Protein backbone atom coordinates (compact mmCIF):
# COMPACT_ATOMS: atom_id res chain seq x y z
CA UNK A 1 0.00 0.00 0.00
CA UNK A 2 3.05 2.27 -0.05
CA UNK A 3 2.08 3.97 -3.28
CA UNK A 4 -1.21 4.99 -1.71
CA UNK A 5 0.61 7.24 0.71
CA UNK A 6 -0.28 10.39 -1.17
CA UNK A 7 -3.98 9.62 -1.25
CA UNK A 8 -6.71 10.42 1.18
CA UNK A 9 -6.97 6.79 2.28
CA UNK A 10 -4.07 6.86 4.76
CA UNK A 11 -6.37 6.70 7.72
CA UNK A 12 -7.57 3.23 6.70
CA UNK A 13 -4.90 1.35 8.60
CA UNK A 14 -6.88 -1.23 10.54
CA UNK A 15 -10.39 -2.30 11.36
CA UNK A 16 -10.26 -0.49 14.67
CA UNK A 17 -9.06 2.68 12.97
CA UNK A 18 -12.11 2.50 10.70
CA UNK A 19 -14.47 2.04 13.62
CA UNK A 20 -12.94 4.93 15.50
CA UNK A 21 -12.81 7.18 12.48
CA UNK A 22 -16.46 6.61 11.63
CA UNK A 23 -17.30 7.08 15.27
CA UNK A 24 -15.60 10.48 15.26
CA UNK A 25 -18.03 11.73 12.60
CA UNK A 26 -21.04 10.29 14.37
CA UNK A 27 -21.47 6.97 12.56
CA UNK A 28 -21.65 4.09 14.99
CA UNK A 29 -20.10 1.23 13.09
CA UNK A 30 -20.19 -2.50 13.76
CA UNK A 31 -17.36 -4.90 13.37
CA UNK A 32 -18.69 -6.28 10.09
CA UNK A 33 -19.20 -2.81 8.64
CA UNK A 34 -15.67 -1.77 9.55
CA UNK A 35 -14.27 -5.01 8.19
CA UNK A 36 -16.02 -4.42 4.88
CA UNK A 37 -14.73 -0.85 4.62
CA UNK A 38 -11.21 -1.92 5.45
CA UNK A 39 -11.35 -4.77 2.95
CA UNK A 40 -12.80 -2.52 0.27
CA UNK A 41 -9.69 -0.45 0.54
CA UNK A 42 -7.34 -3.43 0.84
CA UNK A 43 -8.78 -5.36 -2.09
CA UNK A 44 -9.80 -2.29 -4.10
CA UNK A 45 -13.29 -3.58 -4.48
CA UNK A 46 -16.64 -1.85 -4.26
CA UNK A 47 -18.97 -2.61 -1.36
CA UNK A 48 -22.52 -3.59 -2.13
CA UNK A 49 -24.72 -2.80 0.86
CA UNK A 50 -28.11 -4.40 1.19
CA UNK A 51 -30.64 -4.06 3.94
CA UNK A 52 -33.96 -2.47 4.83
CA UNK A 53 -34.53 1.22 4.17
CA UNK A 54 -33.25 3.67 6.74
CA UNK A 55 -30.55 1.62 8.49
CA UNK A 56 -27.75 3.91 7.40
CA UNK A 57 -26.59 2.52 4.07
CA UNK A 58 -26.28 5.86 2.36
CA UNK A 59 -25.09 7.45 5.55
CA UNK A 60 -22.08 5.14 5.68
CA UNK A 61 -20.79 6.61 2.42
CA UNK A 62 -21.42 10.14 3.59
CA UNK A 63 -19.73 9.50 6.91
CA UNK A 64 -16.73 7.99 5.16
CA UNK A 65 -16.36 11.06 3.02
CA UNK A 66 -16.60 13.29 6.08
CA UNK A 67 -14.11 11.24 8.01
CA UNK A 68 -11.54 10.89 5.24
CA UNK A 69 -12.21 14.45 4.10
CA UNK A 70 -12.70 13.32 0.52
CA UNK A 71 -15.30 14.54 -1.93
CA UNK A 72 -18.41 12.38 -2.19
CA UNK A 73 -19.90 11.81 -5.62
CA UNK A 74 -23.41 10.57 -5.54
CA UNK A 75 -25.19 8.87 -8.35
CA UNK A 76 -28.84 8.29 -7.63
CA UNK A 77 -30.14 5.46 -9.77
CA UNK A 78 -33.59 5.32 -11.31
CA UNK A 79 -35.27 3.53 -14.13
CA UNK A 80 -34.01 4.94 -17.41
CA UNK A 81 -30.71 6.24 -16.06
CA UNK A 82 -28.18 6.13 -18.88
CA UNK A 83 -24.53 6.81 -19.61
CA UNK A 84 -25.22 10.42 -20.48
CA UNK A 85 -26.32 11.12 -16.94
CA UNK A 86 -23.93 8.82 -15.15
CA UNK A 87 -20.68 9.14 -17.02
CA UNK A 88 -20.27 12.08 -19.38
CA UNK A 89 -22.05 14.11 -21.98
CA UNK A 90 -20.88 16.48 -24.67
CA UNK A 91 -21.73 20.10 -24.09
CA UNK A 92 -23.86 20.41 -27.19
CA UNK A 93 -24.81 24.00 -26.60
CA UNK A 94 -21.23 25.13 -26.26
CA UNK A 95 -20.20 23.12 -29.29
CA UNK A 96 -23.00 24.75 -31.24
CA UNK A 97 -21.98 28.20 -30.11
CA UNK A 98 -18.39 27.61 -31.12
CA UNK A 99 -19.53 26.32 -34.49
CA UNK A 100 -21.44 29.52 -35.04
CA UNK A 101 -18.42 31.61 -34.11
CA UNK A 102 -16.24 29.53 -36.34
CA UNK A 103 -18.70 30.02 -39.19
CA UNK A 104 -18.39 33.78 -38.94
CA UNK A 105 -14.63 33.67 -38.68
CA UNK A 106 -14.33 31.04 -41.33
CA UNK A 107 -12.80 33.29 -43.92
CA UNK A 108 -10.20 34.64 -41.51
CA UNK A 109 -9.26 31.17 -40.47
CA UNK A 110 -8.98 29.55 -43.84
CA UNK A 111 -7.52 32.67 -45.36
CA UNK A 112 -8.88 34.03 -48.61
CA UNK A 113 -7.58 32.66 -51.82
CA UNK A 114 -6.55 29.23 -50.56
CA UNK A 115 -7.56 26.26 -52.63
CA UNK A 116 -9.92 23.57 -51.43
CA UNK A 117 -7.29 21.11 -50.22
CA UNK A 118 -5.48 23.58 -48.04
CA UNK A 119 -8.76 24.89 -46.64
CA UNK A 120 -9.80 21.42 -45.64
CA UNK A 121 -6.43 20.81 -44.11
CA UNK A 122 -6.81 23.90 -41.98
CA UNK A 123 -10.32 22.96 -41.01
CA UNK A 124 -9.36 19.49 -39.89
CA UNK A 125 -7.05 21.06 -37.35
CA UNK A 126 -10.13 22.28 -35.56
CA UNK A 127 -11.97 19.00 -35.68
CA UNK A 128 -10.45 17.56 -32.53
CA UNK A 129 -11.12 20.74 -30.71
CA UNK A 130 -14.82 19.99 -30.55
CA UNK A 131 -14.34 16.59 -29.02
CA UNK A 132 -11.83 17.49 -26.36
CA UNK A 133 -12.09 17.62 -22.64
CA UNK A 134 -13.21 21.21 -22.59
CA UNK A 135 -16.48 20.22 -24.21
CA UNK A 136 -16.88 17.23 -21.95
CA UNK A 137 -19.53 17.54 -19.29
CA UNK A 138 -18.28 15.24 -16.58
CA UNK A 139 -20.90 13.29 -14.64
CA UNK A 140 -20.39 11.55 -11.25
CA UNK A 141 -18.63 8.41 -12.48
CA UNK A 142 -16.10 10.28 -14.61
CA UNK A 143 -15.59 12.91 -11.94
CA UNK A 144 -14.82 10.21 -9.41
CA UNK A 145 -12.18 8.73 -11.72
CA UNK A 146 -10.49 12.08 -12.04
CA UNK A 147 -10.08 12.90 -8.34
CA UNK A 148 -6.39 13.07 -7.55
CA UNK A 149 -6.64 12.21 -3.86
CA UNK A 150 -9.36 9.63 -4.24
CA UNK A 151 -13.02 10.03 -3.46
CA UNK A 152 -16.08 8.24 -2.17
CA UNK A 153 -18.38 7.24 -4.99
CA UNK A 154 -21.90 6.45 -3.85
CA UNK A 155 -24.10 4.63 -6.33
CA UNK A 156 -27.39 4.78 -4.53
CA UNK A 157 -30.25 2.32 -5.02
CA UNK A 158 -28.62 0.43 -7.86
CA UNK A 159 -31.59 -1.96 -7.87
CA UNK A 160 -33.76 0.80 -9.31
CA UNK A 161 -31.65 1.11 -12.44
CA UNK A 162 -32.05 -0.96 -15.59
CA UNK A 163 -30.16 -4.14 -16.24
CA UNK A 164 -28.28 -2.51 -19.10
CA UNK A 165 -26.95 0.14 -16.80
CA UNK A 166 -25.81 -2.50 -14.36
CA UNK A 167 -23.84 -4.16 -17.14
CA UNK A 168 -22.35 -0.85 -18.11
CA UNK A 169 -21.13 -0.32 -14.55
CA UNK A 170 -19.02 -3.47 -14.70
CA UNK A 171 -16.16 -1.82 -16.56
CA UNK A 172 -16.15 1.09 -14.18
CA UNK A 173 -16.22 -1.06 -11.05
CA UNK A 174 -13.69 -3.72 -11.94
CA UNK A 175 -11.02 -1.67 -13.73
CA UNK A 176 -11.79 1.83 -12.48
CA UNK A 177 -11.66 3.18 -15.97
CA UNK A 178 -14.12 4.65 -18.42
CA UNK A 179 -13.96 4.77 -22.17
CA UNK A 180 -14.95 7.84 -24.12
CA UNK A 181 -14.81 6.83 -27.78
CA UNK A 182 -13.69 10.24 -29.09
CA UNK A 183 -10.95 10.70 -26.51
CA UNK A 184 -9.88 7.29 -25.29
CA UNK A 185 -9.80 5.45 -22.02
CA UNK A 186 -9.57 7.45 -18.85
CA UNK A 187 -8.13 5.45 -15.95
CA UNK A 188 -8.33 6.54 -12.36
CA UNK A 189 -4.92 7.14 -10.82
CA UNK A 190 -6.40 6.69 -7.40
CA UNK A 191 -9.48 4.49 -7.51
CA UNK A 192 -12.45 5.82 -5.59
CA UNK A 193 -13.97 3.95 -2.67
CA UNK A 194 -17.19 2.75 -4.21
CA UNK A 195 -20.34 2.08 -2.22
CA UNK A 196 -23.39 0.65 -3.91
CA UNK A 197 -26.65 0.42 -2.03
CA UNK A 198 -29.66 -1.72 -2.80
CA UNK A 199 -33.08 -2.12 -1.24
CA UNK A 200 -33.67 -5.36 -3.09
CA UNK A 201 -36.42 -4.05 -5.36
CA UNK A 202 -35.05 -6.55 -7.81
CA UNK A 203 -32.37 -9.20 -7.64
CA UNK A 204 -29.05 -7.84 -8.87
CA UNK A 205 -27.08 -9.67 -11.54
CA UNK A 206 -24.47 -12.22 -10.52
CA UNK A 207 -21.78 -10.45 -12.51
CA UNK A 208 -22.19 -7.31 -10.45
CA UNK A 209 -22.41 -9.17 -7.16
CA UNK A 210 -19.24 -11.07 -7.93
CA UNK A 211 -17.30 -7.85 -8.36
CA UNK A 212 -18.40 -6.49 -5.02
CA UNK A 213 -17.90 -7.19 -1.37
CA UNK A 214 -21.26 -7.88 0.11
CA UNK A 215 -22.39 -6.22 3.29
CA UNK A 216 -25.77 -6.71 4.86
CA UNK A 217 -26.83 -4.10 7.36
CA UNK A 218 -29.85 -5.17 9.36
CA UNK A 219 -31.71 -3.53 12.20
CA UNK A 220 -29.27 -2.66 14.99
CA UNK A 221 -29.13 -4.28 18.39
CA UNK A 222 -30.44 -2.28 21.32
CA UNK A 223 -27.02 -1.22 22.48
CA UNK A 224 -25.90 0.09 19.13
CA UNK A 225 -29.22 1.77 18.50
CA UNK A 226 -28.88 3.64 21.80
CA UNK A 227 -25.46 4.84 20.76
CA UNK A 228 -26.73 5.96 17.38
CA UNK A 229 -29.65 7.89 18.79
CA UNK A 230 -27.34 9.38 21.39
CA UNK A 231 -24.95 10.50 18.65
CA UNK A 232 -27.72 12.01 16.55
CA UNK A 233 -29.86 13.50 19.29
CA UNK A 234 -27.39 14.34 22.05
CA UNK A 235 -29.99 16.17 24.13
CA UNK A 236 -32.15 13.14 24.81
CA UNK A 237 -32.15 12.02 28.39
CA UNK A 238 -30.59 8.69 29.26
CA UNK A 239 -33.75 7.31 30.77
CA UNK A 240 -35.97 8.25 27.86
CA UNK A 241 -33.34 7.00 25.45
CA UNK A 242 -33.35 3.54 26.98
CA UNK A 243 -37.13 3.42 26.99
CA UNK A 244 -37.66 4.54 23.46
CA UNK A 245 -35.04 2.20 22.06
CA UNK A 246 -36.55 -0.64 24.05
CA UNK A 247 -39.96 0.22 22.65
CA UNK A 248 -38.77 0.32 19.06
CA UNK A 249 -36.93 -2.97 19.53
CA UNK A 250 -40.13 -4.52 20.83
CA UNK A 251 -42.05 -3.09 17.90
CA UNK A 252 -39.75 -4.81 15.41
CA UNK A 253 -40.63 -8.20 16.85
CA UNK A 254 -44.26 -7.71 15.91
CA UNK A 255 -45.64 -8.84 12.60
CA UNK A 256 -45.94 -5.54 10.77
CA UNK A 257 -45.54 -4.52 7.17
CA UNK A 258 -42.86 -1.87 7.48
CA UNK A 259 -40.70 -2.19 10.55
CA UNK A 260 -39.34 1.08 11.92
CA UNK A 261 -35.65 1.52 11.17
CA UNK A 262 -32.96 3.67 12.74
CA UNK A 263 -33.94 6.82 10.91
CA UNK A 264 -37.44 6.49 12.34
CA UNK A 265 -36.09 5.95 15.84
CA UNK A 266 -34.02 9.10 15.49
CA UNK A 267 -37.00 11.06 14.19
CA UNK A 268 -39.08 9.80 17.06
CA UNK A 269 -36.43 10.76 19.60
CA UNK A 270 -36.47 14.28 18.13
CA UNK A 271 -40.25 14.34 18.27
CA UNK A 272 -40.33 13.31 21.92
CA UNK A 273 -37.70 15.90 22.69
CA UNK A 274 -39.80 18.59 21.04
CA UNK A 275 -42.77 17.55 23.13
CA UNK A 276 -40.62 17.76 26.26
CA UNK A 277 -41.32 14.18 27.17
CA UNK A 278 -38.92 12.75 29.71
CA UNK A 279 -40.44 9.32 30.08
CA UNK A 280 -42.47 7.10 27.84
CA UNK A 281 -46.17 6.83 28.56
CA UNK A 282 -48.91 5.26 26.58
CA UNK A 283 -50.70 8.45 25.61
CA UNK A 284 -47.54 10.01 24.27
CA UNK A 285 -46.73 6.94 22.28
CA UNK A 286 -50.22 6.74 20.86
CA UNK A 287 -50.05 10.34 19.65
CA UNK A 288 -46.65 10.03 18.04
CA UNK A 289 -46.91 6.54 16.66
CA UNK A 290 -47.24 7.84 13.12
CA UNK A 291 -43.62 8.94 13.24
CA UNK A 292 -42.54 5.35 13.67
CA UNK A 293 -45.07 3.50 11.57
CA UNK A 294 -45.83 4.51 8.02
CA UNK A 295 -48.81 2.29 7.27
CA UNK A 296 -52.30 2.76 8.61
CA UNK A 297 -52.73 -1.00 8.98
CA UNK A 298 -49.52 -1.24 11.01
CA UNK A 299 -50.68 1.44 13.41
CA UNK A 300 -53.98 -0.36 13.83
CA UNK A 301 -52.19 -3.66 14.42
CA UNK A 302 -49.93 -2.20 17.08
CA UNK A 303 -52.60 -0.29 19.04
CA UNK A 304 -53.78 -3.22 21.18
CA UNK A 305 -50.19 -4.15 22.05
CA UNK A 306 -49.17 -0.64 23.08
CA UNK A 307 -49.73 -0.99 26.78
CA UNK A 308 -47.67 -4.13 27.00
CA UNK A 309 -44.87 -2.74 24.84
CA UNK A 310 -44.55 0.47 26.79
CA UNK A 311 -44.51 -1.38 30.06
CA UNK A 312 -41.89 -3.90 29.00
CA UNK A 313 -39.78 -1.12 27.49
CA UNK A 314 -39.67 0.79 30.75
CA UNK A 315 -39.17 -2.37 32.80
CA UNK A 316 -36.32 -3.74 30.75
CA UNK A 317 -34.69 -0.39 30.83
CA UNK A 318 -34.97 -0.10 34.58
CA UNK A 319 -33.22 -3.42 35.11
CA UNK A 320 -30.64 -2.63 32.42
CA UNK A 321 -29.77 0.57 34.22
CA UNK A 322 -28.95 -1.01 37.51
CA UNK A 323 -26.97 -3.75 35.85
CA UNK A 324 -24.81 -1.62 33.64
CA UNK A 325 -24.75 1.37 35.94
CA UNK A 326 -25.49 4.23 33.59
CA UNK A 327 -24.56 7.57 35.04
CA UNK A 328 -27.65 9.41 36.14
CA UNK A 329 -28.40 12.35 33.93
CA UNK A 330 -30.51 15.49 34.56
Give the residues lining the site for another protein (CB under 8 A): 15, 31-32, 35-36, 39, 42-43, 45, 48, 50, 92-93, 96, 163, 202-203, 206, 209-210, 213-216, 218
CA angle 91, 138, 140 (to 5 degrees): 140
Of all helices (H) and strands (E), which one includes residue 246?
helix 238-253
CB closer to another protein, 34 vs 151: 34
Least distance between another protein and beta carbon 56 (Å): 17
CB closer to another protein, 84 vs 114: 84
The torsion defined by the Cα of 230, 53, 271 and 306, in degrees rounded to 10, comes to -100
The neighbour count for residue 265, using CB atoms within 10 Å, is 27
Least distance between another protein and beta carbon 287 (Å): 31
Least distance between another protein and beta carbon 214 (Å): 5
CB closer to another protein, 84 vs 121: 84
Least distance between another protein and beta carbon 151 (Å): 22
CB closer to another protein, 31 vs 294: 31
- Evaluate whether 151 touches 192 at the Cβ level (below 8 Å): yes
DSSP string, 249-301: HHHHHS--SS---HHHHHHHHHHHHHTT--S--HHHHHHHHHHH---HHHHHH
CB closer to another protein, 111 vs 218: 218
Least distance between another protein and beta carbon 43 (Å): 6
Amino acid sequence: MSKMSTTGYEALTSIDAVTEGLNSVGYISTRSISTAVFLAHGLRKPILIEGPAGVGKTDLAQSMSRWLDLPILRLQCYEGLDEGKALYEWKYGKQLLYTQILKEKLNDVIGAGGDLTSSLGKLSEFEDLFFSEQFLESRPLLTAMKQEAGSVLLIDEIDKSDEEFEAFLLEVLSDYQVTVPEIGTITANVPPLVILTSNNVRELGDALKRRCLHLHIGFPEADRERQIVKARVPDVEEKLLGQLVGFVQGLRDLDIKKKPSISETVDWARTLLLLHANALDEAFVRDTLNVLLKHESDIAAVQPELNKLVRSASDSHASGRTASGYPKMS
